[in-house]
Chains A and B, each alone.
Chain A
Amino acid sequence: MIEAQGLTKRYGSATVVHDVSFTCEPGTITGFLGPNGAGKSTTLRMIAGLTPPTAGSATVAGRPFAQLPNPSRVVGTLLDASAMHVGRTGTATLQLAATMAGVPSSRVPEVLRSVGLDEVAAKRRVGNYSLGMRQRLGIAQALLPDPQALILDEPANGLDPEGIAWMRRLLRGFADRGGTVLLSSHLLAEVEATVDRLVVIGHGRIVAQGSLDELLGSSGLIVRATDGRALERALDEAGLRYVLREDGALGVDDGATAEQVARIARNAGVLIVELRPDDRAGLEDLFFSLTGHGHDAETGIDVSEVA
């Protein structure tokens, strides 16, 4: 439904997006994840035909975006919730979109209700909206013409936890009815409960992509002992790498099995009180390595090669 093929964008000598390819299938929600400045928005704008790519191409429903006759009926976009005319009311904003798409204006109050903007809010000027309200209005605008796909840039920005949960249900319902969703975020925690697939981008390049299970199911282990120091020594002797977690446990992310770790502990006479797989180790490490706050960058890059 949405396909990017070798998308590349250079500004002068700076390559902002390099050879980005991925596909979004109907019925799925794809999270486009990466730190700020990784090239997410530029990629989404190239897909939406707003930024001409230096190389590569993108199609939506089998055609380049700019060749869709009435694009908003095929793919709803929200590329920047703050890019709205501050002087118009929520209703007026959507009425323009309705006219443009050729859908009856009776859809406007309907879709406003569905995103949780009440009549009072609808009559207010967008300039008085909070960012969260603008996100809701932007999503309403994208949904208004009843499209088959959605492209949303940082839609969770400015939403409170309740709002994020709301959006999750909304997008899940949309995908369950066969819709295709591509949304970007710079926060893993924000999207990991929403998306089916992840495309992770850093410094303009895709560093990992796959289903959530593939990417989150890593070999990382969390192990806690009554005597943490003794456990560290034992792991050092066994040559296993680990990180000291904030909660005092150790994160072992070196391909070691639980049995291996348990044996090492037993042989050293260390009492283990917790030993379990760390679901998120791989992706988090990868993500931290991209943002530059990494505690174990190497492991992150290992994961990227899984893709």
Chain B
Amino acid sequence: MTATTAEQEAPATAQAAPIGPRPGIPFSRLLRVEWRKSVDTRSARWLLGIVAVLTAGSMAIPLIWNSDIPQELPAYLAISQIGLVTLLPVVAIMTLTTEWTQRTVLTTFTQEPRRGRVVGAKVVTVSMLAIAATALAFAVSAAALALSAGLGRDVEWSIGADVAAGFTLYILLTVLMGAAFGAIFQSTALAIVLYFIVPFAWSLLTIVPALDEVGEWLDTSRTFQWLAEGEWDAHAGPIVVSTTVWVLVPLVLGVVRTLRREVK
């Protein structure tokens, strides 16, 4: 076993500094990495591109059917979010699941064994995406409304602070619900299917009159709608309960599962 001269210059200063109190990985760096991972894949780019196109394209609806749809900012906003709330949660799901399906967790969790911080960075990443998407919805709605005004229509620019805040929160919670489903199921296909089917099945179930009252507290298609329309004052209880059940609980369970799961 005589040493051959290394032809390739392999990088190793093996006798590097002894392991002292070396600084850990700052959260800002984790966040930068997770943001890049979330948006740098082909599927994520396609989805985000489609979201942008759909959001902009949806503005044709209030512009064309201007006699049926109020030419007001809240009405435009309500239409602009259609593509967004359908597809952005899928991006959020994939942000939380892709590493498991592609098995890159083998790398990620050896780079940062404190897995909770990695999940945290992913959740912050999708929250940032949600905020950016909300900003896009506002911008696109405002531009469309300006166009409408330019066409000589009577438009209403005012929007209540409660509606603006509720709308933002609505987008955020919808995306976080996707993240929570991704975190708990850790499989893209399963999480996407359940994300769309479970709340829908629940809404169907609450058609049964006996379940209607319970449904009001758990049916996000209703509670999130109240939120989006700025009616959260009147429905604070159901909104908080449904958010807890569909967002908070799965997210917490997802973190616990991530911490415990054996990485193979």
Contacts and interface: CB of A to CB of B under 8 A. Distances in A.
Interface of A: 26-27, 45, 48-52, 61-63, 65-74, 77, 79-80, 82-88, 92, 96-97, 99-102, 107, 110-111, 114-116, 141, 143-144, 146-148, 166, 168-170, 172-180, 196, 212
Contacts of A86: 102
B102 A83 contact: yes
Contact of A102 (B29, B106, B263): B29
Contacts of A27: 14
A225 B32 CA distance: 71
A88 B36 CA distance: 11
Given A96-B36, A146-B12, A170-B6, A50 B109 contact: yes
Given A71-B113, A83-B102, A85-B98, A114 B8 contact: yes
Contacts of A141: 107
B111 A170 contact: no
Interface stretch (B39-47, B226-234, B244-252): B39-47
Contacts, number: 148
A179 B10 CA distance: 11
B43 A79 contact: no
A169 B29 contact: no
Interface of B: 1, 3-4, 6-16, 19, 21-25, 29-30, 32-33, 36-37, 40-43, 98, 102-104, 106-107, 109-114, 262-264
A176 B8 contact: no
B106 A80 contact: yes
Contacts of A63: 19
Q: Which of B16, B107, B112, B114 has the most CB of A within 10 A?
A: B107
A51 B262 contact: yes
Nearest to A98: B33
B25 A102 contact: yes
Nearest to A50: B263
Given A72-B110, A87-B43, A114-B8, A178 B15 contact: yes
A69 B3 contact: no
Given A99-B29, A172-B3, A69 B23 contact: yes
A11 to B, nearest CB: 9
B111 A179 contact: no
A110 B10 CA distance: 10
Contacts of A61: 19
Given A72-B111, A86-B102, A146 B13 contact: yes
Closest 6 CB pairs of A and B: A173-B6, A178-B14, A179-B14, A83-B103, A69-B24, A66-B113
Given A100-B25, A172-B3, 9 more contacts: A45-B264, A51-B264, A65-B110, A79-B110, A84-B104, A99-B36, A168-B4, A170-B10, A173-B10
B33 A96 contact: yes
B112 to A, nearest CB: 7
Contacts of B11: 107, 110-111, 114, 143-144, 146
A65 to B, nearest CB: 6
